[in-house]
Structure 1
Amino acid sequence: MAEHQAPEAHSHGPSPHAAHHRSRHGRWARLRHRLAHLAVPHGHEPADKVDGALEGSREGLRTLWLSVAVLGATAVAQAAVVAVSGSVALLGDTVHNAADALTAVPLAIAFLLGRRAANQRYTYGYGRAEDLAGVVIVAVIAASAALAGYEAVARLLDPREVDHLGAVAAAALVGFAGNEWVARYRIRTGRRIGSAALVADGLHARTDGFTSLAVLLGAGGSALGWRQADPLVGLLITAAIALVLRDAAREVLRRLMDGVDPELVATARRTLAAVDGVRGVGRLRMRWTGHTLRAEAEIVVDGRLTVVAAHRLAVRAEHALLHSVPRLAAVTVHTDHAPEDGDEDPHGALAHHQGRG
């Protein structure tokens, strides 16, 4: 079906819903409504949507700055050991830690941009900045993999002794502890606020943790007199970075291509079908904008309903979706009437527009 919408029969985002509540209910009704939501805390008023998005950005920024402090301190400590030991494996780990700290900059800018309100040019807001930051993160991961690989190959061609093996091992352990803490923190926060870029950054940090353990193995090999152990571990680190690069790139690309978990779509479809008065569910589309979801849905209703009744049904459908789909911030519901025998296709005039962008 085409996206033809009659304003009087549709629900356009959360604003009509809020207006409906204000017009139909008094202060005590709204209070009861809010108390009921304590059991299912998923707001659907426009202010709730704005507050939720801002809180997600604030939480993301807190996570970024705290993790930057941890990773920065880890990288500085490791860089000091690299300077005295000459370990190329530890150098690769240090570069990766520094790169991971730097990726917080574009992501922080994206979170700050995401707070800006929609305007006449960017009618959906600035949430897409988060996805662009994800592209930058993927590029940084790729660059760090290339640098680590280059240094490892160069050291294989020109082997050198690694000094201060005890310090290298200690720095490796520090790197693992710092990165694993940051990884858990970023991934947990990213999943909670729905930020694919922050999850990708957390996966980046997790790889650094495992590469730090690989540095420890390289130090052990060097202690046994195997000069190639350190650069070989550097190559293993490069391979590990490449694997994370693949996963992070896949996640970011899905967001850029408006990919959504099919289970979310199935949940939304079941929710709409269960709304009293909905006779069928037509096209349903969802997309991420930063770390919030938007949806467009078509429902089939009784053709004998008045415009007012059809609108109320659309609002109920929107309300149900906002409660059942996590991170859903806005919904547009289009109502179609159930066809009768001999009825002309109500969308016939739009048929020649089908398939256009």
Structure 2
Amino acid sequence: MTGACVRSYAHNGPVDVRASTSAHRKGSHVSDRHEQWGHSHEVRRHEHGHGHGHGHPGSRHPLRHRISHLLTPHSHETADKIDAALESSARGMRALWVSLAVLGATALAQGVVVVASGSVALLGDTVHNTADALTAVPLGIAFVLGRRAATRRFTYGYGRAEDLAGIAIVLTIAASAAFAGWAAVERLLAPRPVAHLPAVAAAALIGFAGNEWVARHRIRVGRSIGSAALIADGLHARTDGFTSLAVLLGAGGSTLGWEQADPVVGLAITAAIVLVLRDAAREVFRRVLDAVDPVLVDRAEQALAAVPGVRAVGELRLRWIGHRLRAEVAVVVDGEATVRQAHAVAVDAEHALLHAVPRLTAALVHADPEPAPGEPDPHRRLAHHAPA
């Protein structure tokens, strides 16, 4: 089979990415079950206070865990917001929109008190809650677009709409941080007393209660449908409630006669928003540039190397399209294998990838013949197309 090229096209039809052979559909279902198992494992980690990226023993030191989690920026990356269980569940999507309504109502109630009191600390918490609520809008739009079938113009589908949603989320967070910081600095330069301190304290408690309700609702629904993403979002809402309690501290300081307590707390809230912004911007920037976790590449290479008939693993590429991964890989097979035999190896290689890499839904496998002594490189005729 010298010079032969064999490709495995699971879910890779030129127009409809959902079209595939029955064998490939079976492989996809196996992959979905593997992905759901992976997320269920992540759910258990979150339930025990060991969620991805946190690593704090919440079961033994819940207060320390919450404080540490509060100081750790949490991701607004869209791929972390939607997982298999959430995507396939109407309850899960409904929980996101209910959370939007509750956080929006909370921010509206706080906004009324901001106008009456002039508290910049409460203003910072209000814009933070508003930004968190509004992030559900571009994410929801991207989710709806991402479910549309591929076309002859958008041959990979509309999954990259989630990258645009990520950019919109980053811009929203940046605007909220700039506004909150500007208001706090202005108040520091021109201090004035905060009016209606009891109302400010009540609004702070409303902010905490709203975030806590959203947290409990997301976690409860997330556990019910097995969505680690929704549970993680609930934990983030819970830690956001501590930002609202910081406003309560500012109100207490103002009550004791420290005029700068309110803008100082406002600056602290701004700093918290900036930390979230940094984390979100980094994730979105990486996603736009098709970055993936190197661990996934290692897992893919190891899985391919273990496939019978694969003599070596060549070029391997992974990329995100929405919240799903696609792979392109070249594997070396026996140079004397028939086309059918090489294709079987390619299918086995794809099957191994679907099991090994979470969220992988398609792989394009190119089979290269193992070179024989003195045989010219079959790809030599492509050399003049290589970038300079």
Which TM-score band (shorter chain)?
Answer: 0.7 to 0.9
RCO greater where, 1 or 2, for CA within 8 Å and sep 6 or more? 2
Q: Tell me the C-alpha RMSD between the 2 structures.
A: 3.5
Query: For the structure 1 residues 180 and 284, does the alpha-carbon distance in structure 2 shift closer, same or farther, using more than 3 Å as the test?
Result: farther
Query: For the structure 1 residues 75 and 290, does the alpha-carbon distance in structure 2 shift closer, same or farther, using more than 3 Å as the test?
Result: same
The residue that corresponds to 1:99 in the other structure is: 131
What are the equivalent positions in structure 2 for 1:126-275 lying under 5 Å apart?
126-179=158-211, 182=214, 185=218, 208-275=240-307
Work out the CA distance in 2 between the residues paired with 1:53 and 1:173.
33
Work out the CA distance in 2 between the residues paired with 1:133 and 1:211.
25
Query: For the structure 1 residues 237 and 11, does the alpha-carbon distance in structure 2 shift closer, same or farther, using more than 3 Å as the test?
Result: same
2:110 to 78, 94, 98: 78
Is 2:349 aligned against 1:317? yes
Gaps of at least 5 residues in structure 2 are: 14-18, 37-82
Work out the CA distance in 2 between the residues paired with 1:355 and 1:267.
29
Work out the CA distance in 1 between the residues paired with 2:354 and 2:203.
48
Query: For the structure 1 residues 5 and 87, does the alpha-carbon distance in structure 2 shift closer, same or farther, using more than 3 Å as the test?
Result: farther
| 2:12–2:362 Cα contact (<8 Å) kept | no
The residue that corresponds to 2:99 in the other structure is: 67
Query: For the structure 1 residues 75 and 244, does the alpha-carbon distance in structure 2 shift closer, same or farther, using more than 3 Å as the test?
Result: same
The residue that corresponds to 2:61 in the other structure is: none
Query: For the structure 1 residues 255 and 234, does the alpha-carbon distance in structure 2 shift closer, same or farther, using more than 3 Å as the test?
Result: same
| 1:103–1:201 Cα contact (<8 Å) kept | no
Query: For the structure 1 residues 76 and 89, does the alpha-carbon distance in structure 2 shift closer, same or farther, using more than 3 Å as the test?
Result: same
1:299 to 312, 331, 355: 331
Deviation at 1:119, TM superposition (A): 0.6
What are the equivalent positions in structure 2 for 1:20-39 lying under 5 Å apart?
21=23
The residue that corresponds to 1:47 in the other structure is: none
Deviation at 1:236, TM superposition (A): 1.3
Deviation at 1:292, TM superposition (A): 0.4
Deviation at 1:82, TM superposition (A): 2.3
Work out the CA distance in 2 between the residues paired with 1:92 and 1:52.
34
State the secondary structure of the residue aligned to 2:363.
strand
State the secondary structure of the residue aligned to 2:21.
helix
Query: For the structure 1 residues 241 and 214, does the alpha-carbon distance in structure 2 shift closer, same or farther, using more than 3 Å as the test?
Result: same
Gaps of at least 5 residues in structure 1 are: 23-29, 44-50
The residue that corresponds to 1:331 in the other structure is: 363
| 1:194–1:327 Cα contact (<8 Å) kept | no
Work out the CA distance in 1 between the residues paired with 2:266 and 2:383.
59
1:12 to 9, 13, 17: 9
Deviation at 1:232, TM superposition (A): 1.2
State the secondary structure of the residue aligned to 1:283.
strand
Query: For the structure 1 residues 303 and 261, does the alpha-carbon distance in structure 2 shift closer, same or farther, using more than 3 Å as the test?
Result: same
| 1:57–1:111 Cα contact (<8 Å) kept | no
Deviation at 1:5, TM superposition (A): 8.7
Deviation at 1:39, TM superposition (A): 11
Query: For the structure 1 residues 219 and 117, does the alpha-carbon distance in structure 2 shift closer, same or farther, using more than 3 Å as the test?
Result: same
Query: For the structure 1 residues 355 and 64, does the alpha-carbon distance in structure 2 shift closer, same or farther, using more than 3 Å as the test?
Result: farther
| 2:131–2:176 Cα contact (<8 Å) kept | yes
TM norm structure 2: 0.75
TM norm structure 1: 0.81
Deviation at 1:167, TM superposition (A): 3.1
Query: For the structure 1 residues 52 and 216, does the alpha-carbon distance in structure 2 shift closer, same or farther, using more than 3 Å as the test?
Result: closer
State the secondary structure of the residue aligned to 2:106.
helix
2:318 to 278, 281, 286: 286
Work out the CA distance in 1 between the residues paired with 2:182 and 2:306.
58
Q: Deviations over 1:17-74 (max 9, x none)?
A: 953639xxxxxxx9xx79x95995459xxxxxxx969935967743431220220121
State the secondary structure of the residue aligned to 2:327.
strand
| 1:54–1:115 Cα contact (<8 Å) kept | no
State the secondary structure of the residue aligned to 1:10.
strand
| 1:204–1:244 Cα contact (<8 Å) kept | no
Q: Count residues with an aligned counterpart.
A: 329
Deviation at 1:107, TM superposition (A): 1.5
State the secondary structure of the residue aligned to 1:303.
coil
Query: For the structure 1 residues 240 and 278, does the alpha-carbon distance in structure 2 shift closer, same or farther, using more than 3 Å as the test?
Result: same
Query: For the structure 1 residues 354 and 53, does the alpha-carbon distance in structure 2 shift closer, same or farther, using more than 3 Å as the test?
Result: farther
Query: For the structure 1 residues 52 and 243, does the alpha-carbon distance in structure 2 shift closer, same or farther, using more than 3 Å as the test?
Result: closer
Query: For the structure 1 residues 158 and 39, does the alpha-carbon distance in structure 2 shift closer, same or farther, using more than 3 Å as the test?
Result: closer
